[in-house]
Amino acid sequence: MTEPGTAVYDVAVVGAGPVGLAAAIEGRMRGLTVLLIEKRSGVIDKACGEGLMPGALPLLHRLGVEVEGHPLRGVTYRQKERSVTHRFAGEGGLGVRRTTLHAGLGARADALGVERLTAKVTGVTSGSDHVTISTDAGESITARYLLACDGLHSTVARLAGLAVPAPRRSRRFGVRQHYAVAPWGDTIEVYYARNAEFYVTPVTDSVVGIAMLAGPRVDYADALATVPELADRLRGAEPASSRRGAGPFRQRTRARTAGRILLVGDASGYVDAITGEGLRLGMAQARAAVHCVAVNSPKDYERAWRRETRDFRLLTTALVALATSPLRGTIVPLAARFPALFGGIVERLAR
């Protein structure tokens, strides 16, 4: 690996999660020199639902990445005795352990010659034709563009003056744990408890991931006990991972660009994990951002970002508002009563 030092790169990507790796791969596929900066080393795990929606798989394959997982054929909503299932039209999705996905993307990035630096970004300055990045190790790195892919609580968004304080009301968090149990279905199952949603995603033939979305101070085990059907399926199953948390989810930014700095993925703003399409959106944003960089037109990224995220922002905001209102208990009954509408929303978000 070349010592970063004073080298000038076409693109510096901050954050080596799946979206950052996707952006780095996109850059190399366009013939750009790329430095990937991440404070953590090795394969990175994260609390998430781990379901790749149907629209995410073509984006992943386009990057030249193939990963193993468990087929996902649709989405099922459950609440007490009611349930409704929509099976995806065409190709389905894939349940994939986050560590498996990260390893696959990382191997592809390395094979394409992405350079890496293990460091924490402490300062960014956008000039007329370059960005200067400072790190906690004392490096000063120069790149033509910086893509901030450093997640929900983006350091770069804050340093660039793009982050907006998130409202404290209606904050939601996620907690995820895996269990060593054979999947009992081929859909993502969403169980609506009184004060939480549980998302069941098969990730291998012998492991399922259970992610909880809820407000602050909701205990995972206590909430799980209020969903007898799910609790019974997991009774006696050995945990296959430790619990991990994430959030609060709601994050806002005043814009997605500041000069030659572009925010990508969760760093660009986020509503909620309720629709499970964060990876598809992140990879689509990475492709759009790299295109704008490659043609030297960063100002076009804001419009591309709005186009890519429009449905997610509108539909997810509406679903979260419903899920956190007194009408929460009507979600599954309404979906069961109007299956075509339910299926249309699922397809719109999945593709």
Name, in order, each residue with C-beta under 8 angstroms of 351's C-beta and a sequence gap of 6 or more: 53, 54, 55
pLDDT string in tens for the chain (351-residue length): 334 445 599 999 999 999 999 999 999 999 999 999 999 988 989 888 899 999 999 999 999 999 999 999 999 999 988 999 999 998 899 999 999 999 999 999 999 999 999 999 999 999 899 999 999 988 899 999 999 999 999 999 999 999 998 777 778 999 999 999 999 999 999 999 989 999 999 999 999 999 999 999 999 999 999 999 999 999 999 999 999 999 898 899 999 999 999 999 999 999 888 777 789 999 999 999 999 999 999 999 999 999 999 988 888 888 888 888 998 999 999 999 999 999 998 888 887
How far is the C-alpha of 68 from the C-alpha of 128, rounded, in Å? 44
Q: For residue 77, which of 230, 189, 232, 194 has the smallest C-alpha distance?
A: 189
Q: What is the pLDDT of residue 149?
A: 98
How far is the C-alpha of 73 from the C-alpha of 90, rounded, in Å? 9
Q: Is the domain 8-69+94-167+249-327 a CATH 3.40.50.1240 member? A: no
* Segments making up each domain of the chain, as ranges: 8-69+94-167+249-327
Q: What is the pLDDT of residue 49?
A: 86
Specify the pTM. Answer: 0.94
Q: For residue 279, which of 154, 108, 138, 94 has the smallest C-alpha distance?
A: 94
Is the peptide bond prior to 248 cis by the omega test (within 30 degrees of 0)? yes
How far is the C-alpha of 82 from the C-alpha of 280, rounded, in Å? 29
What single-letter amino acid sits at 245? G
8 Å CB contact between 223 and 212? yes
How far is the C-alpha of 76 from the C-alpha of 185, rounded, in Å? 10
Q: For residue 258, which of 95, 148, 184, 143 has the smallest C-alpha distance?
A: 148
How far is the C-alpha of 12 from the C-alpha of 130, rounded, in Å? 11
Q: What is the pLDDT of residue 5?
A: 45
